[in-house]
Amino acid sequence: MAKLSRWETWGSRSLRLAIALYAFGVVGFPLLALLRAAWLQPAENLRNLLTQELAIAAFQLSLTAAFGAAIFNTILGLLLAWILVRYQFPGKRLADALIDLPFALSGVVAGIALFSLYGPNGTIAQFWQPGTFLGQLLTRFGIEDFNFTASQLGVIFAMVYVTLPFVVRTVQPVLAELEPEIEEVAATLGATPSQTFWRVLFPQLIPALVTGFSLALARGLGEYGLVTIISGNLPYKTLVATVYVYQRFEEFDISGATAVSLVLLIVSLLLLAVTNSLGLWFRFSHKY
């Protein structure tokens, strides 16, 4: 084994030091500070803060909206990844680049753009205004003066927008690495295209889909900027947990903000643990 030079050794140590500083300074210490603030709170106080009706409603909306957006994006992300990998069409590079748009575009900017489209006086919202066909259809179902940007559907839509790239970029490289010979062998043995997909290809995509789903769910739970603009932040209706935390800070209720933030942190850590466990289980079960 070749001996590392002095510069290579220095570079390796500097890289490890930079990683350690990032891990502890950017991630570790803030988390420890949050845990310490929660530890200093009396248990009864934390229980009372977390059992408030507004806090419970915000938690329920965040979980249900993030879960629904993650399921939708898992299906849509698989479809988009399949199209980008398996088909050639004009504008493919542009479509591939647009997938990463939520990563590059600020949530506030995206929220303003979407509000201008789907807001009460938006370009697209005019199609369901009273007097239009969709407006009359909504009225028949008892929905009058429908405002997409101040509804739970708008919250889910916002989470779908910000979490879609996590699924696509997780599934796409796995799908690209699948050997085409596997499909050819399956076809030679008499398998139909649907049988080849569900019995040969899909099992190999399960770890990537689970990872993408978990990342999308965790990202949806932590979304703030876009949801703040597009949801209207109506208490007991469109107020999500992250906005609730910010409102507690605005009212100098540090204890309430800490309690809700702690729950969000625990849920995110559980999601990461479940994702890693499922990935290890799948690799182990298919290795032997």
Q: Which of 244, 238, 241 has its CA nearest to residue 150?
A: 238
Which has more pLDDT, 3 or 254?
A: 254
Domains, the chain:
43-286 (1.10.3720.10)
Please, are residues 217 and 62 in contact by the beta-carbon 8 Å criterion? no
What number is the average pLDDT over the span 209-238?
Answer: 85
In this prediction, residue 69 has a pLDDT band, given cuts at 50, 70 and 90, of: very high
3-state class (DSSP) for residue 1:
coil
pLDDT of residue 146: 65
Query: Residue 23 and residue 17: Cα distance in Å, rounded?
Result: 10
187 to 173, 176, 180, 181, 184: CA distances (angstroms)? 23, 19, 11, 10, 5
Q: What is the mean pLDDT of the chain?
A: 78
Predicted pLDDT of residue 1: 44
Residue 197 above 80 pLDDT?
Answer: yes
Place of tokens 């696509």: 168
Task: Give the global pTM.
Answer: 0.79
Residue 235: phi and psi, rounded to 5, are -55, 140
pLDDT on residue 259: 76
* Residue 260 near residue 244, CB atoms below 8 Å: yes
Q: Are 214 and 149 in contact (CB under 8 A)?
A: no
- Categorize the per-residue pLDDT at 71 as very low, low, confident or very high, splitting at 50, 70 and 90: very high
Q: Which of the residue ranges 38-52, 168-182, 220-234 would you say has the lowest mean pLDDT?
A: 38-52
Closest Cα partner for 169 from 263, 246, 100?
A: 100
Most confident residue range from 86-90, 167-171, 174-178: 167-171
Q: Cα(157)–Cα(183) distance, rounded to whole angstroms?
A: 36
pLDDT tens, position by position, 247-269: 887 877 777 777 777 788 788 77
Q: Residue 9 — very low, low, confident or very high, per pLDDT cuts 50/70/90?
A: low
pLDDT reading at 78 higher than 90: yes
129-152 pLDDT, tens digit each:
766 767 677 677 666 666 777 788
Place of tokens 């890289």: 15
- Taking each helix axis as running N to C, give the angle between helix 152-177 and helix 53-86, from 0 to 180 degrees, rounded to the nearest 10: 40
CB proximity list for 158: less than 8 A, separation 6 or greater: 111, 114, 223, 226, 227, 230, 231
123: helix, coil or strand?
Answer: coil
Distance CA 236, CA 144 (A): 19
Rounded to 10 deg, the angle between the 254-287 and 43-50 helix axes is: 80
Model confidence at 107, pLDDT cuts 50, 70, 90, reads confident
Query: Given a cut of 60, is residue 118 above it in pLDDT?
Result: yes
